[in-house]
Structures are given as C-alpha cells and as structure tokens.
Amino acid sequence: MSDTHIKQSEHSTQGKLSFDDFRAIVMADYRLAVMSRFVSLLGRKEVLTGKAKFGVFGDGKELAQIAMAKVFQLGDWRSGYYRDQTFMFASGIVSVYQFFSQLYAHPDVEADPSSAGRQMNSHFATRMLTPEGKWVDQTLMKNSAADISTTGGQMPRLLGFGLASKLYRDNPELAGMSTFSNNGNEVAFGTVGNASTSEGVFLEAVNAAGVRQIPTVISIWDDGYGISVANDIQTTKADISEVLKGFQRDENGAGYEIFKVKGWDYPGLCETYEQAAAISREHHIPVLIHVTEMTQPQGHSSSGSHERYKSQERLAWEQEYDCIVKMRAWMIESGIANENELADIERSAKESVRAEQKRAWADYNATLKKESDEAIALLAAITDDTVQILLNELKSLTEASLREVYSTVRRVIRVLRGKQSDEKTALLAWYAQRQQINADRYNTYLFSDTIESPKHVAVVSPEYGAASPVVDGREVLNACFDANFARDARLVAFGEDVGKIGDVNQGFAGLQAKYGERRIFDTGIRESAIIGQGMGLAMRGLRPIAEIQYLDYLVYGLTVLTDDVASLSYRTKGGQKAPLIIRTRGHRLEGIWHSGSPMSMILGSMRGIHVCVPRNMTQAAGMYNTLLRGDEPALVIECLNGYRLKERMPANVGEFTVPLGKAEVVKEGNDVTVVSYGSTLRVVQEASAELEKLGISIEIIDPQTLQPFDEEHRCAQSLSKTNRLLVVDEDVPGGASAFILQQVLEVQNGYYHLDGQPRTLTAKAHRPPYGSDGDYFSKPSADDVIETVYAIMHEANPAKYPALFD
C-alpha cells in the first residue's frame, strides 16, 4: 500500500511547468475550492430560509475532488455519491447555476440537466441521449451516472462502467463502437463515503473489481463519521485501507494498488490521482484511494447539526485541518500568493456564486410567477364570494409554489360544482392544459418511450414446418441465445455458472466455447454486483444479459434494481437509460429457497422495468428477441419446471418476437375468465379438461407480461362474455393477484361486467415446504383450480352445480 502523504514542497508537475504556470493552476484551484465551499454555505442558508426543501453538500471534500477532476478525461465515467459537487464544478459537468436550480427543484431540463428537478440537490448526471432516445458520443463527454441517495449503491454499476473498457479493449469484434470507447482507455471513477464501506455492496464490488482487474479508481472520502457514528464503530481498526490490505497486488497475485493520502494535502492529492489514473488507464488495474483527515464543516446535511455528536476537541481539529484553510496557509508559506491576493480571490468567488444563485432563483420564480399570474387572472374573473376569498389567500403569498397555485385552483373548481359560466369554462380549459404540462414535468419517462422502445419492435410469429423437431424447452432457449449472439457482437451474458457449464439448466450450454469467455462468463456469488455490472455495461452501449440463478435470490440484488435500474430513465427525465435484461428462473419447484414467486415484491419495487412471465421457453425466446431489439430494462422469469418439457423448435428461433403487454387467449370459453401466467397457467390448462367434463367452459388468458399488463384489455373483453373472474398465481395472498384485479377491474373497467364476486387462488402465505407433498398443499393445484371454478359456478347456478362438500 502506498502512503502518498507527500511533503508539501513536492509536486509532480513542477518540473514540467514554469513557476508562473504552476502558480496560475494553484490559484485557479484555490478559487474553485472557495467557490464550492461558498456554494455549500449559501445552499444551507437557502434551505434554512425555506427557499429549498433539503440540502446535502460537499464541504470539506474540495481539494481531493479538484485533484480527481484533473485526471478525469473525456470518455471517463463517474459513479459517485452526493458529496461530489466540487468535482462536478471542476470537471465542467455542472455549473453553479445548475446546482442551485436543482436545489430549488426547477422542473426544467435546461436549468437542471441532471434531473429536471426530480432529484434532490447534489444528485448529478450527464445527459447521454438525444431527444429521440439515441446515444450521443460518450467519448466526447465526461460521463456521470445519475446519483442515488442509497449510500454504497453507486458501487455495483461502477463494475460495469470499468468492465466495458476491458471488453472494448480486448474484443476486436467491438472495434467499430468508437462512440462508446477509445480502445478501452476509459477509467471508471467511483466515490464513496467512509461509513458506506461497511456495506455489503461496497465489499462485493471491491472484490469483483479485483477478481476481474477492472479499470476503476475508487475514492473513499473519510471524514471520520457516518452521520453521528464514528469510524471506530463503523470499521475494524477504524481504518478501511487497513482492512483492505489483503487486496494489495503483490508477487502472490493481481489485486489493487492502494493509496492513502490526507484530504488537506493539495500536492499529495494531485500526485496521488495522477499516479492512480495512469496505472488504471494504461494497465487496467483497479486502484483504491483512501483520502483521510477530511472534514465536514456543516455536518451531514441541512437537517441536523454535527455539534450534537462531535466533541469540542474534534470541532477544533476540523477548523484547523479544514482543507481550504490548510491550502491557503501553504500557498502563503510557499510564496505562491499573498494575503491580499487570496482575499481578492475569495471575494470574487463569493460574488460569482451569489450572482449565479440569484439568477437560478429568479429563473425558477419566473416559471412559478407565470403560472401564478395566469391562475390569478382566471380566478379574478369569477364572480363568487368564496372564490374571491381563496383568490386573496393565493395573492397574499409572497412566492406561491406550484402546489399552492394548483391546490387553490382545484378548491375553486370544487366550489363551482354544478355552476356554469364562461369564466369557469376558461378556468377548466386552462387547468386541463396545465395538467398536461405538469404530467410532463413530474410523471414522464418511467420508460424511455422513444422510437427505440421494445413496444415498437415488429411482431414476428414463430414459423414451423413439417420437419420442425420436438425438443426440450431448454434447447429452444439455447438456440435463441446462439442466434442472437451470432447476430450482435454487443451481447454479453454472465452470472453464476453461466459460462463453463452453460447455466444450471443449460440455456447457454456450449456457447462460451463458441463465443469466448469475453462474451459469456461466470461470476462469483454476488447478486448486487451482477446486476450493477449489467447496468454499467448497458449504459456503455453493450447488451448484457445478467443472470440471477433463482428468483428467490433476486432479493440480494433488489436495491440495485429498484433504486438504480428501475428509476434511471425517470429520475433523469429521459437523459439516461440502461437496456439491461435480467434473466432468472422461478415459480414451481420444491423447497423453501427454490420455489419462491415474490411477484408482489417485484411489481411494487421495480416500476420502470418490464416484467416478463413466459409460460414456456418458446414464449421466453420470443421475449428475449423483442427485448434485445429495444432499449429498455426487463426481467424475464423462466419457469423452473419447464426446461425439459417438450416444445417444437421454431425455424426462425432468433427472429420471432413476443410483444410486451399483449395478453393471449390460450383457450376460449364461456363460463369463467381465468387469468394466470407462468407455471400456474399450465396448472389451469390441466384443470380445464376436467372442468369440461363437469360442464364448465373456462376462458384462459395469459397476460405474458405483468409490466406492461394487457394493454389491449383482453381480460375485460373476456369478462364481458363470461361475467365471472378468477385470478390464479403462486404469489402470496393479496400479492400479484391483487395487482391483476386492480388492472382488470379498475383500469379495464371490468367491474361493470361482473355477475359475481371476483376470486383469487394463490399460494399460502408461507413458503412452500420441501417435497412434492409440500408443493401440493402450499401452491395452487389442478384440484384447487377445479374446485374454485366450480364454487363460482355453484354460486351462479346452485341447481345445475350442486355444492361439492355438502
């Protein structure tokens, strides 16, 4: 491990620069540090005076981030967290005006390119898509993934950003993708707080990067605390670089180059980052930089005071070792600047920040004032005493928020119920038009919704001939993957056991030998790293299929899926996308840990990811063909008990497509509409034969995807014929079945077609016991389906269908 606490008289570039040039660089860096510090101080005041809702800032981290920005080149990637404002200013990715616009939640992508007001301040992102949803040239940009608040959550995707460089350098087939990489020379820079190094996602990512020798430079900003919890409670030996010494590369094997440097040592920081970036960029070696003795002058955020948990001795030390204070003293001692020159810089920097803050606030208020003035004018034209009272309340507000404007308008609309006038008509028209604008501001881009979307992929039916062989379902999947890997060099697949043995169910059997270890490869047991790696690769132009071996284990990668992948398009307002496919298998098997169907967890936490639930491997193959031609993330859940069931092999196995959101009527019937998917759909099909013998004809509908769900409303169309509804799935009671009921009864207005109570048939609330008997008594069986459908018909016509158990 390298200790680069270098004497302050040393600097790696002094031999290359004249003193005047060196002095100019240092002066500019000092101005930037002061400017960023004043942004933090002023930002906190804006929160405390009520202009902004919440604030989190990067004070105390300025010098290290300036040093990092010096070596951050075009094409490089940042995966950081919400303390990196100085780096963003220094790299030119974000301006002070844009910082304050985000602080005020300005809902305009020009004012806040990172999120259009959707994310709290210090959550940065670069816009890497055209308005049509196509990729821009990433090699001409300094790239930053959209930040998330979950500490440590930025680490998994860092793996993919760095691994992409390795794949672009090592795979000649990708040479033509010059808008994503310059021969793999890009470095992925990660930043993380010292407390977050205690998290599993950090350690997973660090281990994975070391195993694959991924070109990453990971900076740990160590200010001694995680909110109020000190390092001696967070970390063994109270020192993360001591903990990670075993990762140091040496004669025993490849690993990390680890540096340790103090956060107030400007020359040492500059030299450290110069060395670290060169090692990682040239040799694809992961580097970890532990930046110690940092401070946090304003505490964790605007919601609390660090004086509550720091001792007076610690607070005094932080004042003495404040990085800007130390740099200022060093500049004077070294003859780089005098007191007056530095005072002028400080005054100028503060004036500049203040001017940009005022401009951001004025522009934000101009947006609000325009709508407020329009609303006030419309309300003033209405002759009604109550309306005038509400109007006066609105006018009395000094700076009305959009919430206050539209809440007043909606109250007026309720006051005017049953009354008609031209003035009310004008108000309603204005409100409807503004609702469209507000929907665009706050509710769009859950998915990319561009011409690249999978919903625009042409529907191609599977083709069969007289000689089409009947094979195991796994062979259909294998042929599908083979055809797609031959078609598109961007495809990569990885996960536990995916490479050498071709996954535990043989979907990739033989394909690593055919396409090589760069494209199809094994990983360790690290679900969050697998998902994050796939996300990063997808954002760098590759088409990854990340496998989670069993659906039950998806929960170990859930934070990456729900906090990062699912919300990426939304939280950047269409500025970023990650067309990642997550492949897994679940539903019907035996045993507590291999038979889960946690669909309600998935549906509730992964909005922004398509959820595909094919009933067989042919349907799964068609879905993969669709998704690989689109640009949106998706989860495909294959049926665990379907790999060896026989299916016909389509002649166009790599070309036919299954559209998303299009339900299929698997069997027509007249008495009861039964909606099911995945493995339970086959159970319903089995039950239908005996129900026919009992004189009951069911119509079976397979939604095929749960997100999106039955966009053509085939469920409601069926219900208009049968007037009776049963939903069958193997999630817990009130899980996915409740979601399906909401879609059918509320979204599709199926409620109005009902002649009886809608029913659900689900698994029991507990996990299934081991063994076939445990499965039978815990999850819906054909007997359960038959008896439930029969009970529905008994309720409708007791004479024709007498009770079974009376």
Q: What CA–CA distance (Å, rounded) separates 398 from 517?
A: 64
Q: Which of these, 168, 63, 81, lies nearest to 121 by C-alpha position?
A: 81
594 tagged catalytic: yes
The DSSP symbol for 751 reads: G
Q: Which residues make beta-bridge pairs with 143?
A: 77
Tokens 């000190």 -> residue: 230
The DSSP symbol for 241 reads: H
Based on the number of CB atoms within 10 Å of its own CB, is 72 exposed (0-12), middle (13-18) or buried (19 or more)? buried
What is the identity of the amino acid at 200?
Answer: G
Query: Of the listed 587, 594, 610, 713, which one is catalytic?
Result: 594
Three-state secondary-structure class, residue 444: coil
Dump strand ranges (E) for 45-127. 77-79
What separation in angstroms does the CA of 769 have from each of 553, 600, 765, 774, 779?
17, 20, 12, 5, 10
Note whether 54 and 303 are within 8 A (CB). Answer: yes
Q: Which of these, 526, 468, 787, 795, lies nearest to 656 by C-alpha position?
A: 468
The DSSP symbol for 245 reads: G
Q: Which of these, 131, 128, 213, lies nearest to 577 by C-alpha position?
A: 128
Q: What CA–CA distance (Å, rounded) separates 657 from 627?
A: 9
Pairing assessment for the beta strands 470-472 and 646-648 based on DSSP bridges: antiparallel
Q: What CA–CA distance (Å, rounded) separates 229 from 473?
A: 53
Exposure string over 523-551, b if 16+ CB within 10 A, otherwise e: beebbbbbbbbbbbbbbbbbbbbbbbbbb
Q: Which of these, 746, 729, 521, lies nearest to 611 by C-alpha position?
A: 729
What is the identity of the amino acid at 84?
Answer: D
What separation in angstroms does the CA of 249 have from each of 18, 244, 245, 288, 513?
36, 11, 9, 11, 30
Q: Which of these, 317, 289, 59, lies nearest to 197 by C-alpha position?
A: 289
Q: Which of these, 374, 414, 407, lies nearest to 393 by C-alpha position?
A: 407
Q: Please list the active-site residues.
A: 594
